[in-house]
Amino acid sequence: MAKQQGESGDRDLVVIVGCGRLGALLAGRLSQAGRRVVVIDRREEAFNLLPAEFSGFRVTGDAVEHEVLRAADLAKAGCLIAVTQKDTLNLMVAQVARLVFAVPRVLARVYDPRKEVFYQRFGIETVSPTELTADALVEAVGLG
Amino acid sequence: MNQGHRYPLFLRQRYRDILGYSALVGMLIGLLIALPAALVVFFPEEGALARVFLTTGLAVLGLSLAVRRLCRPLDGDSLSLDEGATVVVLAWLVAILAGAVPFRAAGLDWTRAIFEATSGWTTTGLSVVDVAAASPLILFFRSLMQLAGGAGLAILMLSALTGPPGVSLSTAEGRAEQLVPNVRQSARLVVLLYACYVAFGILALRLCGMSWFDAVNHAFCALSTGGFSTRPQSIGAWHSPAVEGVTILLMLLGMMNFLIGYALWRGRLRFVARNGEMRLQALLLPLLFLGLLGALTHPLETDLVHRARAALFQAVSALSTTGYATVDPREWSGPGWALLLVAMLIGGGAGSTAGGLKLYRVHALARGLLWQVRALPAPRGLVNQPTLWVGEQRRVLGDGHFRQMGLYAFLYLGAWLAGGCALTAYGHPLAESLFEFASSLGTVGLSVGLTSAAAPDGQLWIQIGGMILGRLEFFVVFAGLLKLARDLPLVLSVQANT
């Protein structure tokens, strides 16, 4: 029974790949909201960006390696968010999470709007800051 | 508004948060102090003392509620590490002072009352109370303090009430290791695990022939690696192998990192087998046992079975920093003392209820030392770093880790020497002084007779300092007090101006 409890409990585990400004902010907010959070980054120093609200685990390593993803307990995660600086890396990690680890919900940041279509074909939800900024600016100019 | 006032105003807001969260811990402390009053149901003749517990507890609770109303932390405001340290230091001061009141009412003077309260909350177990004559309410309160202090006030608060988001409080109280990647869920799991241990301990001790009251007290104090007993001869009073066996098991559970307890619970044996702390413990305990077996000099204990029982019990009791005794420590020969001393200095697992330098640091430093020696004849260009298994992950031990652990070990051993030498000023021999202070600093509670109600005030205060510094791991106390000393004049200056 204990095992079952642990596993259903882990469904609120969120794995964040990339601890830059966005990854760190996200990790802090999700922690504060009471979710279990694991952050992965290649560089140990990146974790210095994490805010005081963060209470999850840090995993140092390259997220393209299975060993690293396993260390982050990805197989039990309910959600993966890929927010590294590189679109291609985000796509790859998101795909691995989807296909190999069968993570129910996978989200990624994409800078290049033209690439979004690939993500969607793999069942990966995307957020594109480029597009969001463009939308906001168009609206601002239009209303201004 | 004057430019120069901006920082003090900002600080004032931060101190509202700090006081607000301290008051939250204060509420918990108030409840804990009021709880023993409920025992008046079983001991109706203790009505007067029960009233003291109830009024003290309610006073702390009321005061905390008032402070919390005044300084309600802004929702979701988190604390930085040094602010967390300040909260922990303030909360522990309140806990110790308020916890001393019932002892004062039971007839101790303030120094001795504060000593007893400190020994309780820090799970040390050195005592100046006459256990044979003490009221059962006092005995239960001592055990309850150890139970709470073992888990950590911050962990209890985070699991039961709310608290700041983030890890500042649990880290400041030396309970940084988490079972799951969320501090509140982790705190709940730790308390759940702890409660299971306690329930098991009470039942097991009861089945071994203790009364319910003794079983509850000893389960509390063995699991928190505290070591208060309800009898002057400690566990030795029962002369029962079963009681000793169960107590050994409880002490081992108490000194085990909660992470490992959680892994065992989930059946992850591989994790346990490659954990450095468990390995070091598996090496140290047999060595201690064999060493102590040869070092018992009591003329009556010539029977090998008796000696083995005493040696095993004492090895676990010293390494787990519990401090229960089945034979008087004065009956060990010189090497026996030395072994107990080393065990007390090393201590139990990190993230457990134990004290001392902690197995984790000793293991990592030993690994580093071996690595350093091996690297001496290696080619100059060789890149190689020692690694450790932390949870499921292999972690590389960098220079930063070694600096931190090395400095801590230096500080710890330095403080031990300084405190031990200071005790000699009260007319005790050096060996006894060093033993007794190692026992205070490591929150152990084994005594060679220096700690008693007749001990001079100055000696007791040195030991009080040792217990607090040892339990909160030095830096937190320094950080908290330095911050208070630096900020308070500024904060108060604004209050005076506005």
B34-56 b/e (C-beta count within 10 Å ≥ 16 → b): bbbbebbeeeeebeebbebbbeb
pLDDT at A2: 34
Which residues are paired to B486 by β-bridges? none
Eight-class DSSP state of B396 = E
Nearest CA in chain A to B187: A55
Does the distance separating the beta carbons of A59 and B393 come in below 8 Å?
yes
- Mutation test of the interface with chain B: which of A29, A50, A54, A55, choosing the one with the most B Cβ atoms within 10 A? A55
Strands B387-390 and B393-396: antiparallel
The pLDDT tens digits for B343-356 are 999 988 888 888 88
Q: What phi, psi does B296 have (nearest 5°)?
A: -85, 125
Cα separation, B302 vs B397, in Å, equals: 47
Q: Which residues of chain B have a CB within 8 Å of the CB of A71?
A: 392-393
Interface residue ranges in chain B relative to chain A, Cβ cutoff 8 Å: 76, 78-81, 165-168, 178, 180-186, 265-267, 392-393
Search chain A and give the residue with CA nearest B395.
Answer: A60
Please give the Cα distance from A98 to A105 (Å, whole number): 8
Q: Is the ipTM of this complex over 0.90?
A: no
**Exposed / middle / buried, residue B211 (Cβ in 10 Å: 0-12, 13-18, 19+):** exposed
Q: Which of A62-66, B87-91, B396-400 has the lowest mean pLDDT?
A: B396-400
Chain B nearest CA to A55, separation (Å): 5
Q: What is the pLDDT of residues B152-168, one digit of tens each?
A: 888 888 877 777 777 88
For residue B182, the chain A residues in CB contact (below 8 A) are 31, 34-37, 55-56
Q: Inter-chain contact A55–B166, Cβ cutoff 8 Å?
A: yes
Q: Is the pLDDT of residue A7 over 50?
A: no
A3 contacts B166? CB cut-off 8 A? no
Cβ atoms of B404 and B352 closer than 8 Å = no
**How much is the pLDDT for A3?**
35
Distance CA B270, CA B242 (A): 30
Q: What are the chain B neighbours of A6 within 8 Å (beta carbons)?
A: 266
Cα dist from A89 to A78, A84, A86, whole Å: 20, 7, 5
CB neighbours of residue B437 within 10 Å: 27
Interface touch B185/A36, C-beta < 8 Å? yes
The per-residue pLDDT for range B250-305, each reduced to its tens digit, is: 999 999 988 888 888 888 888 888 888 888 999 999 999 998 888 776 655 567 88
Cβ distance of B266 and A32 shorter than 8 Å: no
Start-to-end CA distance of chain B, whole Å, equals 11
Beta strands in B369-475 (DSSP E): 387-390, 393-396
**Is pLDDT above 50 for B415?**
yes
- Report whether B227 contacts B247 (CB < 8 A): no
- Tell me the average pLDDT across B478-491: 88
Query: Taking residues A26-55, what's their average pLDDT?
Result: 91
Cβ-Cβ contacts under 8 Å, A10 against chain B: 180
Q: Which CATH number fits domain A2-143: 3.30.450.70, 1.20.120.1200, 3.40.50.720, 3.40.50.1000?
A: 3.40.50.720
Q: Which amino acid is at B293?
A: L
Per-residue pLDDT of B172-194, as tens digits, reads 777 777 888 888 888 999 999 99
Dihedral sign from CA coordinates of B309, B311, B315, B317: positive
A102: distance to nearest CA of chain B, Å? 21
What is the C-alpha separation between A16 and B141, in angstroms, rounded?
45
Question: CA triplet B392, B321, B81: central angle to 5 degrees?
Answer: 55
User: Quick check: B180 and A35 CB within 8 A?
Assistant: no
For residue B151, with 0-12 CB atoms within 10 Å meaning exposed, 13-18 middle and 19 or more buried, which class applies?
buried
**% of chain B with per-residue pLDDT over 70:** 95
Chain B CB within 8 Å of residue A48 CB: no
The domains of chain A are located at: 2-143
Q: Is the model's pLDDT at B16 over the cut of 80? A: yes
Q: How far is A14 from chain B (nearest CA, A)?
A: 9
**DSSP result, B312-350:** HHHHHHHHTT----SS-GGGB-HHHHHHHHHHHHH-S-T
Strand locations in B391-478 (E): 393-396
Task: Report CB contact under 8 Å: B78, A53.
Answer: yes
Q: How many CB atoms lie within 10 A of CB B217?
A: 26
A51–B78: do the CB atoms touch at under 8 Å? yes
pLDDT band of B14, cuts 50, 70, 90: confident
Residue pair B359/B281 in contact by the 8 Å Cβ criterion: yes
Question: Taking CB atoms and an 8 Å limit, are B393 and A71 in contact across chains?
Answer: yes
From the list B344, B369, B347, the residue with the least C-alpha distance to B257 is B347
The tokens for B159 are 């699991």
